Structure 1
Amino acid sequence: MIFKIVSVDSLIIYFGNSIDEKISQNVKKAYFCIKNLTLEGIIEIIPSYTSIFISYDIFKYDYESLKSLLEKNINLDLDLILDEKIITIDVYYGKEVGFDLEKISLEKNLSIENIISLHSNKIYDVYAIGFLPAFAYLGKVDEKIAVPRVSTPRKIVPKGSVAIADFQTAIYPQQSPGGWNIIGKTAFEPFDKKLENLSVLNIGNKVKFNPISKEQFLKQGGIL
């Protein structure tokens, strides 16, 4: 673990510098260790692929005191029972909602059916929540369909769009601008204002995408 000062009231802990299963597990373990401390004065704890960002009350801690406390209480050798339940999410991979399917098909020399199969046959880890409330970063996408962000971000990405960027995949929980490649759409609702972190998907969960027909998608309340 490497601790760094971000600002007068925040720090970041680094566990590595690549998207890696071992690094991800260490991030998860450290995150749950910190959460279980229920420390007064901790304002925000934000895990990502390789790090954890923490903001805190400067009247409760300074950088050195909080760093010392966390170093003593984060145990990466601890066998934590993580919430690794698999959440299955139905997706309609039609071209009228998967705006970038044909582009990816040409770039990767794959049929659209192959793209759908490669995307839906994997089980993804929830690595982080961010960008938008309930926007879950999922990984890793099969390298055969890993594509960079689009050259010109869209001003509007419809709510429920399922997308790929590099080795990541995600669901847009609300309509917003975005630069990811759109390959499908879901009626699944990841945002829940009744939850503490506003997200149905949490760090430690796993996600499996399930291809469905247009008729099934519309029956579930999906909008084309």
Structure 2
Amino acid sequence: MTAAVQLAGPIRAAGDGGLIAELVAAPNPGAAQPAIHRDPTPAAVRAATHAVADELTAALGRGLIDLVPSSNRLLVLFDPGSAAPATVRRLLREALAPPLACIDDTAQTVTLPVYYGPEVAWDLSAVAAAAGVTRETVIDWHSQADYTVRAIGFAPGFAYLGGLDSRLARPRRATPRVRVPAGAVAIAEHQTAIYPAESPGGWHVLGRCPVVLFDPERKPPLPYALGDKVRFEPIDRDRFLALGGQIGTGA
């Protein structure tokens, strides 16, 4: 897939060793139409990140620490002791303007098993009641959608997945839970996500995934990346337990 990404506005500082570039979709170089200021696709941001990384690595060497992309931003982390912020800012600006044509052929579709049983789907009944449908219908709506990884953050491995069926859109819980277990599959607003580790959370829990999502010792540490597609496969309780799932409690 080919897309074009360009810089949208000034590059902002993020502490002494960070810069944030806002990104916008743009016509491919040579196109006759004017630039259309809209969010780029996650796949385009990922491809742009790889392209920018090559240029900055060549110029900065070990002074470049990391590049962290999200849906329409790119965070560049660098060592201010070996790379002057003004130099990094200039290099980043030059890498993103004029529009950067990106080809991304690395996106994959990841299918993750989910158990939607009542022991783990703490909010499924309430979501069904709010939508005026049965629990089974909510499961169908949630598991039949194709999701896109739009950002990874909040906690290591926490992926914000866009593409939730609009009939399931719900505001966050009025009172967040103190403990949401690892693997909890939840929804909030127009997104869904899987909690990679136990943490507080205010999303509506619909089920649980038995797969270990974040493992820093694994290469890569996550089964998905920005721009990847994610699908959920409903499984029964026996399959959930056989895959290592646990029926735990939260608060």
Higher Cα Rg, which structure: 2
Aligned-pair distance for 1:26?
3.8
Matches of 2:220 and 2:63, distance apart in 1: 18
Aligned-pair distance for 1:46?
1.7
| Corresponding residue SS for 2:139 | helix
Question: Residues 21 and 219 from structure 1, CA distance in 2 versus in 1: closer, same or farther, beyond 3 angstroms?
Answer: farther
What residue number does 2:108 align with?
85
Q: Please, which of 15, 30, 43 is the counterpart of residue 48 of structure 2? A: 30
Question: Residues 98 and 145 from structure 1, CA distance in 2 versus in 1: closer, same or farther, beyond 3 angstroms?
Answer: same
What residue number does 1:67 align with?
89
2:145 is the alignment partner of 1:140: no
Aligned-pair distance for 1:24?
2.9
Q: Please, which of 73, 80, 91 is the counterpart of residue 58 of structure 1? A: 80
| Corresponding residue SS for 2:51 | helix
Matched letter for residue 149 of structure 2: V
What residue number does 2:153 align with?
130
Q: Please, which of 1, 6, 13 is the counterpart of residue 5 of structure 1? A: 13
Structure 1 unpaired stretches of 5+ = none
**Normalised TM-score (structure 2):** 0.80
What residue number does 1:188 align with?
211
| Corresponding residue SS for 2:148 | strand
Matches of 1:92 and 1:137, distance apart in 2: 20
**Normalised TM-score (structure 1):** 0.89
Q: Which moved more, 1:43-52 or 1:205-214?
A: 43-52
Matches of 1:204 and 1:24, distance apart in 2: 4
Aligned-pair distance for 1:210?
0.5
Question: Residues 26 and 69 from structure 1, CA distance in 2 versus in 1: closer, same or farther, beyond 3 angstroms?
Answer: same
Matched letter for residue 70 of structure 1: L
Alignment size in residue pairs:
221
User: Percent identical across equivalent pairs?
Assistant: 34
Matched letter for residue 53 of structure 2: K
What residue number does 1:179 align with?
202
2:120 is the alignment partner of 1:94: no
Indicate conservation of the 8 Å contact 1:133/1:199, yes or no: no
Matches of 1:143 and 1:184, distance apart in 2: 18
Aligned-pair distance for 1:21?
6.7
Q: Which runs of at least 4 in structure 1 moved beyond 4 Å after TM superposition?
A: none
2:172 is the alignment partner of 1:149: yes
Indicate conservation of the 8 Å contact 2:21/2:73, yes or no: yes
What residue number does 2:188 align with?
165
Structure 2 unpaired stretches of 5+ = 1-6, 25-37
What residue number does 1:47 align with?
69
Aligned-pair distance for 1:92?
0.7
